[in-house]
Amino acid sequence: MEPNSLPATERPGESAAGLWRTFLASTLVLAASLGLLFVATEGGSAFTTETLRRSAVMRSPQPIPDLQVIDASGVSASLLERRAADPRVWIVDFVYTQCASVCLSLGTVYQRLQAEITERGLQDRVGLVSVSFDPARDDAPALQAYASRWGMEPQVWQVLTLARPSDRRRLLDAFGIMVIPAPLGEFEHNAALHVVDAAGRLVRIVDHDDPGRALAIATALTR
C-alpha cells in the first residue's frame, strides 16, 4: 500500500501534528533558499559574474600580476616594471588586433578617450593601455599596425601583448576576463574599462560604454 491510497489522516504528515511539522520544515527550507540566494547575489545586487567581479574589485583593489609583456616596438619588459616607471593612472582594456566585433567599439571608445585626454591636458595623469590576449597572432608588427590603424599617440595610448603565450590564463584571471573562441578565428569576450592606479592595483571596472566615468575615476585618483 502506498501512502496515497490511505485515508488522509493516516498519510504521513497530513495529521494536525504533521501539518505543523511541514509548516516548520517549509519555512526553514524557504528561509535557507532565500538566504542562499541572498548570499550568492550579494544581497540581490549582483546576478551576473561581471557585476560580482566589479563589486569585489571596488571593495578591495587587487594587485595586477607581474607578467613579461612586449610593446608595439618589440621591447620586452615586465608589466610591473612598466607600471612602476609610469606615474599615471592607467585605463586598461583587453583586445586582440584581428577583432571585428566588440573591440571595434572598444577602439572607438579609446579614440574618444585619447582625444579627451589630449584636449584636457591630462596626458601626464592618465594613460591608456590596450592589452592583447592573443599573443600567438599579435606580434610586435601586428601591434604596430593596430596602433596606426587607431591613430594611437604613443604618449597617451600604448598597446601591449604577452611575451609568453603561456601567461594568458594568469592575465585573464587577474582581470576577470572570460575569452571564448568563436568561429572565424574570433573570440567572444567581456569588454570593460579597467582602472589601474599608479601602485599597480586594479581599483575599478567600468562599463565600456561609460568612458566618461572611467576617466573621472582615473583623474580623481591622481589628485
Partner 1 sequence: MNPWPIRSRSLAAGMVLAALACALSLPPARMLIEQSMLWHMVVQMPMLVVAGSLLMQSVPAARLPDRLARWNAYGLTGFIAAQGIIVYWMLPLAIDRAVVLPATDVLKIVSLLACGALLARAFARSAVVVQLFFLGYTVSMLGSAGLYLLSTTRRLCNAYSLESQFSAGVSMLILASALTIAWAGFTLRRREGSGTPEHGANRGARQRLHTN
> Which residues contact partner 1 (rule: CB under 8 A)?
1-5, 8, 11-14, 18-19, 21-22, 24-26, 29-30, 32-34, 36-37, 40-41, 46-50, 52, 178, 180, 182, 188, 190
Q: Which is nearer to partner 1, 52 or 198 (CB)?
A: 52
Q: Which is nearer to partner 1, 121 or 181 (CB)?
A: 181
- Least Å distance, CB 136 to partner 1, is 20
- Least Å distance, CB 27 to partner 1, is 9
Q: Which is nearer to partner 1, 56 or 163 (CB)?
A: 56
Handedness of CA 17, 19, 23, 26 (dihedral sign): positive
- Least Å distance, CB 117 to partner 1, is 28
Q: Which is nearer to partner 1, 106 or 143 (CB)?
A: 106
The residue type at 21: R
Cβ neighbours of residue 89 closer than 8 Å, sequence gap 6 or more: 125, 126, 127, 195, 196, 197, 198, 218, 219, 221, 222
Nearest CA to 171 among 49, 56, 48, 68? 68
- Least Å distance, CB 16 to partner 1, is 10
- Least Å distance, CB 36 to partner 1, is 7
Handedness of CA 118, 128, 199, 190 (dihedral sign): positive
Nearest CA to 108 among 124, 130, 136, 132? 130
Q: Which is nearer to partner 1, 106 or 221 (CB)?
A: 106
Q: Which is nearer to partner 1, 37 or 220 (CB)?
A: 37
CA dist list (Å): 33 to 20, 37, 40: 20, 6, 10
- Least Å distance, CB 215 to partner 1, is 22
Q: Where are the beta strands (DSSP E) in 51-103?
A: 62-63, 68-71, 76-78, 89-95
